[in-house]
């Protein structure tokens, strides 16, 4: 027997299912649109390593099925990345009825900023970090060794770096979220700046080859993104306090 309290829960489940179906349909549409271009998409992703190989060299496939499944995997993951705005929009539409007006004013810009920074991290990895990483590895290759990268292995490395840099560029959003939810304060984070900078350089050391140039190229943007998050947090907190003061005056 269904009670009155079960009806809202069931309606939420039905709405969630409908929104998940919309997300899957969007991913399927993007996948179908990209599948015919899967070879060109892989060529674009592999360009950083191809630019560092000797003239006439190319990637290889050590598994006969890799020539199909590697571009297929790339297209599938690219479809997910490109559908992130749709995913976040459906997520926003699902939770927004339960938010206060002031929470909506903050959450929507944060979602938009989160998507933009994630894509910026991927672009930074592809156009800045990849050429440096591949240049480093090809430069240390012994003279009697010929580099012939495997297409599946290269894709695995590329996707890990894309995901790592995409998440690293979410630092401002995480910083603002922690401050606005009261988990920490701007003053507390500012006092921990030396430790944050150290963590950024440790992350740069772990995510990039062991050379100071590429490590610094990740650590400095992470630190600057942290400072950007602090700045946004200060602005949002000051606006919140100004709004509260104005309300008290009107009362």
pLDDT in tens, the chain (251 residues): 444 455 577 787 888 899 999 999 999 999 999 998 988 999 899 988 888 887 777 888 888 888 889 999 999 999 999 998 898 888 888 877 776 777 677 777 888 888 999 999 999 889 988 888 788 778 777 878 778 889 998 898 888 888 888 888 989 988 988 888 788 888 899 999 999 999 988 887 887 666 677 778 788 888 999 999 999 888 877 766 555 544 444 45
Residue 27's pLDDT is what?
Answer: 94
CB 73 within 8 A of CB 158: no
Residue 6's pLDDT is what?
Answer: 54
Residue 209's pLDDT is what?
Answer: 62
Q: What are the structure tokens assigned to 85, written together? A: 């705005």
Residue 246's pLDDT is what?
Answer: 40
Strand partners, 237: none
Q: Roughly what angle, to the nearest 10 degrees, separates helices 84-95 and 6-35?
A: 170
Count Cβ atoms within 10 A of the Cβ of residue 54 and give its class: 0-12 exposed, 13-18 middle, 19 or more buried. Answer: exposed
Q: Rounded CA gap, 196 and 4, in Å?
A: 50
Phi, psi of 109 (to 5 degrees): -60, -35
Residue 62's pLDDT is what?
Answer: 86
Count Cβ atoms within 10 A of the Cβ of residue 27 and give its class: 0-12 exposed, 13-18 middle, 19 or more buried. Answer: middle
Give me the residue label for tokens 């539409």.
Answer: 93
CB 116 within 8 A of CB 173: no
Residue 245's pLDDT is what?
Answer: 47
């Amino acid at each position: 027997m269904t009670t009155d309290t079960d009806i809202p829960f069931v309606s939420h489940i039905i709405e969630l299912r409908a929104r998940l179906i919309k997300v899957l349909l969007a991913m399927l549409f993007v996948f179908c649109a990209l599948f015919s271009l899967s070879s060109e998409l892989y060529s674009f992703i592999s360009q950083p390593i191809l630019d560092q190989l000797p003239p006439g060299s190319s990637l290889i496939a050590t598994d006969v099925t890799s020539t199909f499944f590697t571009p297929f995997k790339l297209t599938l993951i690219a479809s997910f990345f490109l559908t992130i705005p749709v995913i976040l929009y459906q997520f926003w539409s699902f939770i927004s009825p339960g938010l206060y007006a002031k929470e909506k004013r903050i959450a929507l810009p944060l979602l938009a900023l989160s998507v933009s920074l994630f894509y910026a991290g991927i672009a930074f990895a592809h156009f800045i970090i990849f050429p440096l990483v591949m240049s480093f590895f090809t430069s240390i290759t012994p003279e009697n060794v010929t580099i012939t990268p495997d297409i599946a292995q290269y894709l695995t490395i590329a996707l890990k770096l894309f995901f790592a840099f995409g998440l690293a560029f979410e630092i401002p959003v995480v910083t603002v979220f922690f401050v606005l939810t009261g988990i920490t304060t701007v003053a507390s984070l500012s006092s921990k700046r030396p430790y944050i900078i150290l963590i950024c350089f440790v992350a740069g050391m772990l995510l990039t080859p062991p050379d100071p140039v590429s490590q610094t190229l990740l650590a400095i943007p992470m630190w600057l993104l942290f400072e950007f998050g602090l700045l946004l947090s200060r602005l949002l907190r000051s606006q919140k306090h100004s709004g509260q003061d104005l309300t008290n005056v009107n009362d």
